Structure 1
Amino acid sequence: MHYALNLRTFFYSHYFYLGLRFAAGLVGVTLITLQFAGMATAMTVCIGALCTALMDMPSPLRHKFNEMSASVLLCGFVTLLVSLCAPYHWLLMTVLVLVSFAACMMVVYGRKSMPLQLATLFIMTMSMEHSMTVRESFIHTGLFTLGALAYLAYAMGISWILRHRIKQQVLAEALFELAAYIDIKAQFYDTRYNLSEQFNRLIRHQSLLADRQQAARDLILRAHNNAKDAIVVQVHVCMLDLYEQILSTHTDYAQLRLHLADSPVLKALHDLAYKTARDIESVAYDVTRKKASWPEISYEPELDAIEAELASLQQRIDAGQPQHEALAVLRAQRNKIRAIIKMVGELHSASQKAYDTTPFWADADMGPFLSQQKYELRMILSHLRWDSPIFRFALRVAMAISAGLAVAAWLPYAAHSYWIVLTIVIILKPSFSMTKQRRSDRIIGTVIGCVITALVIRYLDYPALILAVLVLATVATPTFIYLRYRYTAIAVSIMILLQMHLLAPGNNDLIMERLIDTFIGAAVATAFSFVLANWEYQTLPRLVSEVLQTNLRYMQASFDLLQGKGKDDFAYRIERKRLMDALAALSSALMRMLDEPSSKQRAVEDINLFIVQNYLLMAHVAALRAIVRRHPHEIPVDALNAMLAESHDQVVEVLTQALAPHGDAGQAGEDALMSAATLSAQTAAARAAALVPWSGWPLVQRRIRLLQADAVQIITHRAAILRDIA
């Protein structure tokens, strides 16, 4: 369950705050307008506020102002344009199609432009039903813009007052998702769960976790000028370091299960991971409540059980039993888990008070860590080509809306074409999987919303009660839009139907007409989801290449850090973040592809394994960092750096060959396999003979061998992916 769907945490989440802010703004603007004008004017002002409210998301203040201002200007222009064209049917139809196409092209600006696209299409549909004179059109647009500006001023004021609170809430969400990630890791120690299925779950969640961490970066790292902000930065940086430490806990779980299947130590390892997740959740919960967090969980029983098992294994080895591999794997896990527990303690400490200096890089440019906001016309122009997925999406929506308008005009009953069009623009999304999910949520949500509205009108038809339900629906609409869209669809249906009932009571066919219009719009959207469709497998070669190129840069930064080059780990953190983003993009594409028709799915297993192998490379690097940190004084620096340099060259050679053209991929894999295996054997032999004594050598050598082997596997899976797609 998502943390914000739990009542204990729901009322502290930024989702609930958004719902309250949204409802208070809309209701407030409407009530103030009613003091000076009638209901029709108040509804026009309210719709203006609603369009701007769709852009009210957790964002840095400057970004929020730019996004909401764009909504005011664009939606105001569309309102005027459609209102002026409404008396001329042929001109109106042409403008509707052109506006739909232009609005969908805005998707080139990324995920944050999606609400702006929706707001533009929403006001287009709301304006198309009203035929006005030129004077009335300008007055209508002025009232709409007044409501939009009023909500803009209100939202910016509230966001400025709550700017630190929003940072805390977004950071807490990232911490809750990290805890959920550890819960999945805990099940690797439970023999009831299949390892491959767990890896798939882990990869899916890593995509979500990367998204939440980026949202936290965008808010937290842009400005931290006081003690309260410094605490949030401390917790954020500690969370990222903890995440890397958790990555390093990857081990050979199959070997662990094989050797320790009958031992209670597996349950102890599972319970340790479970407790760690709850410990992190306690930090997140305290952050949402603006409190310092203190450790309350004891790990001693499980740690004692592990120590007892280690002693037992050592006794068996002394008795001549072959338990060396089990001892090594369990001891390594013990060390890593102790390090994680220690870091969770540091996470608690980071929430308690501001340090003397902000725990980040002094005078460093945070730009590489942050999402960049660029709205340039040339980005749209560059996508005006047939092979652009966004161009094809814009054409698809324009054609679907044209078909929806044609169907509405031919229906035997008084259909509401704006409702059909609105259903189409809400359901039809850039990817087939998003369209499929949104269609299901929209239909089910509308049906439930219509049933609830019918019951309210039938049994609770009193103005005060209807207004109370209306306010609750208004709060729920934005609250669940990013959590469970189905709940939002229910709330929107209730909100709009009750508003129409208040404005025009006595229409007994109101609910049934909306249901029919919704089904028609859903049918049109479904039919056009196959038109000019861009299937996910078509983007896979580009995404795979981006992962490999990013991994090459990450490996360079990683080995530079391990060899002590550079004054800090700033460059390493940048490349780690970029690799996580690239893997998250590939993982998201894979998940979307699994929702597409089976005939459009390609290389699913190899993509899964390719992603896993790249994550394993990150895990091995994190483990090497942990080993080096555990032995800071006794390390033979020169010998270690020589080994790392040689290993780096081998891994870079393998990843470079993985980027070979399609036709050479298979041969490149064989050559890399032979090269890496040969050099690895030579390296191991040379080090065994020449290196000075050091307790960390076996651990370092083992991790480097695993790093090289997993790098080679990347070539195999990349070649299989390209072969299957071709």
Structure 2
Amino acid sequence: MRLLHRLPAYALNGISVALGIGLIQFLITALAGHHAAQLALSGAVCASLADVPNTPARTRSRVPVAAALSLAAALTVALLDPFPIALGFGIGAIAFVAMMTMAWGPRAGAVSFAPILSLVFTMAVPESSVSAWELAAWNAVGGAAYCVWSLVGSAVLQRRQCTLSLVMAMRSIADLFHLRAAVLSPDPEAAAENMKRWLAGEAAAADRLQTARDFVFAASDSPAARRNTSILLRLIDLRDVLLASRLDLDLLGDDDAGHAVLNQVAAALARIGDALGEAADAVRDGTVLVVTARPVERLFVDTPMAADDPRIRLLPAVAGRLTNLNDDVQRIQSLLDADPETPVLSRTELQSFVAPEGWPLGALADQFSGTSPVFRHAVRSALALGCAYFIALASPWASHPHWLVLGVAVVLRGNLEQTLSRRNARVLGTLAGCVVVLTLASLHSPVLLGAVFLFAVGTAHAFVLQRYWLTASAATVMALLQAHAVHPAGGFAITERVADTVLGAALAWAFSYVLPSWERRNLPAALARTLKELSGYAALTLSEDAADGIQPRLARRRAYDALNALSGVVQRTGAEPEAVRVPVADVARVLDHGQRLMAHLSVVRMILSRRGGELDVAETARALGEARAALSASLALREGPAEPPPSYPGGLSMLPIEAPADDVMPWLLRRLQVLAHDARCVQAAANEAVAKARRR
């Protein structure tokens, strides 16, 4: 039981899916026989693709759509099966419709594959074994039965999934502490790799924070919901403060004394990350956390720097940021066992941070354009799957054309980077799955094969976003066993399966270059969005009456989302042909200075909220107004030749004499000056990136 309690959300979801499929198989076998049960399982398995860790409302919105698309695909294939040429065009049409569902964004990802898998399962059914309408009817029964199960499972697991989503968000921020500590490593050879890991960690944290928002903020009001909400809101702020820990550290230099300070900062960040990880374990296990003090105030008492070294003036500011981080983590720890506090935002306001749901037709209509990546991928998929089918008809093993179609469908993604990643994992996973099925084939035990099938269903479902090679292995076992159960006389045909997988991966790779959506095409829009969102967040943060309300928080999230989207561009373009890649160095500079800008704004926000009473009102208003005007002029793309980036105004000579604890006003003025500099650097890098992209 303790082991079950520690299972992550995706594992619990996989177990739930396997139990649901097993129950449906048992009931329909008892009521209508083995063959009917196998036909119904096709509909159930396809519907289960959309049953991911989610709230009951979101499950109710997605699983029936996957079941309906699965039924439509099954009926289409069954009716066209006697006409091989027409079936090829029907497969292309199904692929087009399936991929166009991506117009609704990531929430349609699992739904989009349901009709593809359904057409593969339907093609595996022998033509003479059942009529098209009977096949569709059992598919509908299986899909409907799984819809009922998914709602029951989602309701039962709702509370636990909500807790685990918060745990995963806490762990992702704890990981960011360790990744930020690694970035501070003075080893130049590790710098590039550590920065890549940091960007990947930032993207993972953004996804997990949004998942936690969708669970926690949508929960009904209760003491537990208020506690979780308070923790999550503080966690979101903590990510913001962590970003500020990087500021000014480049002024420490590259000598032994500078490295010694960096190592102390890195060690402190790692300890704070460990404390947050302990809090995540306590939330997961429902245990009382023994809070241990992790002081950071005395970090630089034994610094090797000389007393007259100007860098000494920087150390109190760095220590202050680490103290703030440590205090924020301890506040999160204290929330675990204290009476729930009233969150700063109401339950109604929190709904603005929950990802949209539903299927508005306007989103689909907007994608019917030759420049739309969704439309281009839908056409590409239709051509690829149709060609795969016709190639399979001409191959020596034409009795299993659905395997080649499946091989192309699971590998071909919306961009080349994901396709290449899926290609290698798919081939390796299929080989491993075939070895498993070869071992099982000699046992001749229907009960054992049925148990392995259910285990494969759960494993393939659970690990699709975690370890795709494992999903590929389990899916191979599942597909081979399902095809064998529907048509035992067809055998397992392992050699053909491997050949189809290799050929399918090659076809998917080749079709990635058909109607490609290179990242360069959308770079100007991505950069313009980034600058717009940075400008909007800066305007709210630098306003004289800035408050910790809903609008600044929404603006901050939009700014982070824009930066994460730009980071994805850099990651994906690395797999593209060199001639069409975006200018990575310039986009990386936009990201670097954009994150610095967010960090500056975080520091300004903390000064205004925590020490605003110590500031001169008139001077603060004047400085904030000048900074707003400077950022408004800087954060916009400009036509014409790109301007060179401005010189850096924030060197050691600009450090205030007084420590921040004694007089914070000079530190605020310096922060605003450096903030304006980074805004101009963002603009310069963005203009240069757009100019280079258009010249290629």
TM bin, normalised by shorter chain, reads: over 0.9
| 1:610 counterpart SS class | helix
2:341 and 2:486 mapped to 1: Cα distance?
60
For residue 617 of structure 1, report the CA deviation from its aligned partner.
0.5
Residue 715 of structure 1 aligns with an amino acid whose one-letter code is Q
For residue 21 of structure 1, report the CA deviation from its aligned partner.
0.5
Alignment partner, residue 596 of structure 2: 616
Alignment partner, residue 142 of structure 1: 137
Residue 251 of structure 2 aligns with an amino acid whose one-letter code is Q
- What is the TM-score normalised by the length of structure 2? 0.92
For residue 257 of structure 1, report the CA deviation from its aligned partner.
4.6
Deviations 1:543-595 (A, max 9, x none): 000001111111111112xx2345x4321111000000111111112111112
| Shift in alpha-carbon separation, 1:413–1:248, aligned structure 2, 3 A | closer
Q: Does 1:537 align with 2:520?
A: yes
| Shift in alpha-carbon separation, 1:154–1:290, aligned structure 2, 3 A | farther
Deviations 1:293-323 (A, max 9, x none): 4424x424x65342333xx75xx43xxx3x1
Q: Does 1:86 align with 2:97?
A: no
2:592 and 2:405 mapped to 1: Cα distance?
42
- Residue identity over aligned pairs, in percent, reads 24
Q: Does 1:436 align with 2:415?
A: no
For residue 8 of structure 1, report the CA deviation from its aligned partner.
8.5
1:439 and 1:588 mapped to 2: Cα distance?
20
Alignment partner, residue 4 of structure 1: none
Q: Does 1:651 align with 2:631?
A: yes
Q: Is the 8 A contact 2:518 2:573 kept in 1?
A: yes
1:620 and 1:396 mapped to 2: Cα distance?
44
For residue 248 of structure 1, report the CA deviation from its aligned partner.
1.7
1:699 and 1:455 mapped to 2: Cα distance?
69
| Shift in alpha-carbon separation, 1:101–1:246, aligned structure 2, 3 A | same
Deviations 1:8-62 (A, max 9, x none): 8994210110110011011111011111222211111111111111000122322
Q: Does 1:201 align with 2:201?
A: no
Residue 582 of structure 2 aligns with an amino acid whose one-letter code is R
Q: Is the 8 A contact 1:450 1:493 kept in 2?
A: yes
Alignment partner, residue 329 of structure 2: 344
2:545 and 2:372 mapped to 1: Cα distance?
44
Q: Does 1:306 align with 2:304?
A: no
Alignment partner, residue 709 of structure 1: 677
Alignment partner, residue 3 of structure 1: none
Alignment partner, residue 21 of structure 2: 26
Q: Does 1:417 align with 2:401?
A: yes
| Shift in alpha-carbon separation, 1:20–1:41, aligned structure 2, 3 A | same
For residue 201 of structure 1, report the CA deviation from its aligned partner.
3.2
Q: Does 1:220 align with 2:216?
A: yes
For residue 465 of structure 1, report the CA deviation from its aligned partner.
4.2
Q: Does 1:588 align with 2:568?
A: yes
Q: Does 1:287 align with 2:287?
A: no
1:470 and 1:639 mapped to 2: Cα distance?
71
Residue 510 of structure 1 aligns with an amino acid whose one-letter code is A
What are the residue-to-residue correspondences of 1:142-161 with 2, within 5 Å? Answer: 142-161=137-156
Q: Is the 8 A contact 1:12 1:289 kept in 2?
A: no
My pick for the range that moved more, 409-418 or 22-31, is 409-418
My pick for the range that moved more, 628-637 or 68-77, is 628-637
Residue 304 of structure 1 aligns with an amino acid whose one-letter code is R
Q: Decide which of 664, 680, 686 is 1:696's aligned counterpart.
A: 664
| 2:556 counterpart SS class | helix
Deviations 1:70-98 (A, max 9, x none): 12222222222322222233332332221
Alignment partner, residue 551 of structure 1: 534
| Shift in alpha-carbon separation, 1:264–1:89, aligned structure 2, 3 A | closer
Structure 1 segments unaligned to the other structure (5+ residues) = 1-6
Residue 239 of structure 2 aligns with an amino acid whose one-letter code is Y
| 2:349 counterpart SS class | coil
Q: Is the 8 A contact 1:12 1:169 kept in 2?
A: no
| 1:366 counterpart SS class | helix
| Shift in alpha-carbon separation, 1:156–1:258, aligned structure 2, 3 A | same
For residue 283 of structure 1, report the CA deviation from its aligned partner.
1.6
What are the residue-to-residue correspondences of 1:264-663 with 2, within 5 Å? Answer: 264-296=260-292, 298-300=293-295, 303-309=297-303, 313=305, 316-317=306-307, 321=308, 323-324=309-310, 326-357=311-342, 359-362=343-346, 364-458=348-442, 460-501=443-484, 510-560=493-543, 563-565=544-546, 568-655=548-635, 658-661=636-639, 663=640
2:362 and 2:128 mapped to 1: Cα distance?
36
1:464 and 1:133 mapped to 2: Cα distance?
27
My pick for the range that moved more, 33-42 or 369-378, is 369-378
For residue 145 of structure 1, report the CA deviation from its aligned partner.
1.2
Alignment partner, residue 178 of structure 2: 183
Alignment partner, residue 666 of structure 1: 642
Deviations 1:599-619 (A, max 9, x none): 322211111111111110010
- What is the TM-score normalised by the length of structure 1? 0.89
1:379 and 1:622 mapped to 2: Cα distance?
34
| Shift in alpha-carbon separation, 1:461–1:11, aligned structure 2, 3 A | farther
CA RMSD of aligned residues (A): 2.8
For residue 367 of structure 1, report the CA deviation from its aligned partner.
4.4
Q: Does 1:718 align with 2:686?
A: yes
2:281 and 2:419 mapped to 1: Cα distance?
34
For residue 254 of structure 1, report the CA deviation from its aligned partner.
2.9
1:573 and 1:554 mapped to 2: Cα distance?
9
| 1:308 counterpart SS class | coil
| Shift in alpha-carbon separation, 1:307–1:630, aligned structure 2, 3 A | farther
| Shift in alpha-carbon separation, 1:565–1:709, aligned structure 2, 3 A | closer
1:711 and 1:9 mapped to 2: Cα distance?
49
Residue 425 of structure 1 aligns with an amino acid whose one-letter code is A
Alignment partner, residue 106 of structure 1: 101
1:295 and 1:565 mapped to 2: Cα distance?
33
1:519 and 1:263 mapped to 2: Cα distance?
50
| 2:76 counterpart SS class | helix
| Shift in alpha-carbon separation, 1:51–1:508, aligned structure 2, 3 A | closer
For residue 129 of structure 1, report the CA deviation from its aligned partner.
4.5
Residue 230 of structure 1 aligns with an amino acid whose one-letter code is R
For residue 635 of structure 1, report the CA deviation from its aligned partner.
2.1
Q: Is the 8 A contact 1:636 1:694 kept in 2?
A: no
Q: Is the 8 A contact 1:49 1:151 kept in 2?
A: yes
2:597 and 2:50 mapped to 1: Cα distance?
39
2:260 and 2:3 mapped to 1: Cα distance?
33
1:440 and 1:264 mapped to 2: Cα distance?
43
| 2:613 counterpart SS class | coil
| Shift in alpha-carbon separation, 1:620–1:604, aligned structure 2, 3 A | same
| 1:365 counterpart SS class | helix
1:595 and 1:507 mapped to 2: Cα distance?
40
Alignment partner, residue 47 of structure 1: 42
My pick for the range that moved more, 194-203 or 480-489, is 194-203
Structure 2 segments unaligned to the other structure (5+ residues) = none
2:431 and 2:177 mapped to 1: Cα distance?
38
| 2:298 counterpart SS class | helix
Alignment partner, residue 229 of structure 2: 233
| Shift in alpha-carbon separation, 1:152–1:299, aligned structure 2, 3 A | same
Deviations 1:382-431 (A, max 9, x none): 32222222221111111111211111111123441111111111111111
Deviations 1:133-182 (A, max 9, x none): 89932222221111111111111112112212111111111111111111
| Shift in alpha-carbon separation, 1:11–1:412, aligned structure 2, 3 A | same
Q: Is the 8 A contact 1:535 1:593 kept in 2?
A: yes
Residue 242 of structure 1 aligns with an amino acid whose one-letter code is L
Residue 64 of structure 2 aligns with an amino acid whose one-letter code is S
1:213 and 1:64 mapped to 2: Cα distance?
19
2:191 and 2:396 mapped to 1: Cα distance?
57
